[in-house]
Amino acid sequence: METWRRVIADSITTPEELAECLDIGPGPLAPLVRRYPLRITRRYLGLIEKPGDPIWRQCVPDPLELLDDQFPDPLDEERLSPVPGLIHRYPDRAVWLVSNECAVYCRFCMRKRRVGCPLAGGGEGFWDDVLRYIKETSAIRDVILSGGDPLLLGDEHLESILAGLRAIPHVEIIRIGTRTPVTLPERITARLCRMLKRYHPLYVNTHFNHPREITPEAIKACARLADAGIPLGNQTVLLAGVNDDPAVMTHLMQQLLAIRVRPYYIHQMDLVQGTGHFRTNVETGLEIIGALRGHTSGMATPYYVIDAPGGKGKIPLLPDAVEKWGDTWLLRSFRGEIVEYRDR
């Protein structure tokens, strides 16, 4: 068995295991884990320094997950899915959900409704339907593999997907969204990188949220990908109690550049059911961007974006570039629509 598979097999998946590791009572965790599955690799759990710290908040279930009234699918991904497993929101891009598994089930996940659950429509026919749709839709030039985490697939399975996409002439770019450099760096093997290198132009966007996640193992994983000629970007989610502080976010962005990972997005938390306790207000995000602009390298300054509810797409925000009316923000979508957005 490959090392990364052994790490997954040894992960913490039950309230009892987690309670033993953290010296907490398992009782309150049981209903949470029945609703939203639990998985934490022991390496990632080892980054916790104290209860409630930024790593703890990201991976340890919280009773608040069962108390908010937000929506399971606020971005309308199901409506924008022409075939099971594919999201086609923008004209020239599509997101292919190739996995429902992750090395760590982050408690703020935008797809809490599906991660850790069986992959709907899985099987060879499922992949064929997706590839057929992409092949028949000539406007699609950019395909993002997402999930779950695509790198929880084995090398052979992942390569069959990449080869299928590369056989479609109008698919110019393939992107992979993965958090494994953070949560499962053992997955970034020399063999995997040799395989990925055959499918350029290929981009990887990873997901660091806090400077403590930039461990020696994570640095090595990113270096392997970069040395294979794969451009690396990072998408950070703005999370209360984790990185909602200009100094923390500045340090994170600077450290990412130092390991050859280009900051790409800071995401405002989506209005996803079970994640309301992570939300900050928009002013916090604008303050952070204001602290980055001009005070550190432009390369270390990502876009701050809101993924507008209803599937209207990502909208970048800059200080003094949005309008507020009462408790409502007025945002302009990529189609020129004015979108009303409430952050509380």
Among 260, 262, 314, 332, the one annotated catalytic: 314
314 is catalytic: yes
Distance CA 159, CA 47 (A): 32
Distance CA 279, CA 183 (A): 22
43 is catalytic: no
307 is catalytic: yes
Alpha helices by DSSP H, 144-281: 155-166, 180-183, 190-196, 216-227, 246-258
293 is catalytic: no
- Closest to 282 in 3D by CA, of 272, 270, 268, 292: 268
Among 57, 59, 73, 106, the one annotated catalytic: 106
φ, ψ dihedrals at 133, nearest 5°: -60, -45
DSSP strand pairing (313-317 vs 303-308):
antiparallel
Among 36, 57, 73, 102, the one annotated catalytic: 102
DSSP strand pairing (202-206 vs 232-237):
parallel
Residues 94, 171: contact at Cβ < 8 Å?
no
327 is catalytic: no
Among 21, 76, 93, 260, the one annotated catalytic: 93
Among 265, 270, 304, 343, the one annotated catalytic: 270
- Closest to 224 in 3D by CA, of 262, 187, 176: 187
The per-type count for the chain, helices as H runs and strands as E runs, is: 12, 12
Is 312 in a helix, a strand, or coil?
Answer: coil
Locate 135 and state its tokens.
């092949």
Among 76, 90, 141, 142, the one annotated catalytic: 90
Among 73, 244, 307, 343, the one annotated catalytic: 307
89 is catalytic: yes
155 is catalytic: no
149 is catalytic: no
Residues 147, 117: contact at Cβ < 8 Å?
no
* Catalytic residue list: 89-90, 93, 102, 106, 109, 111, 270, 307, 314
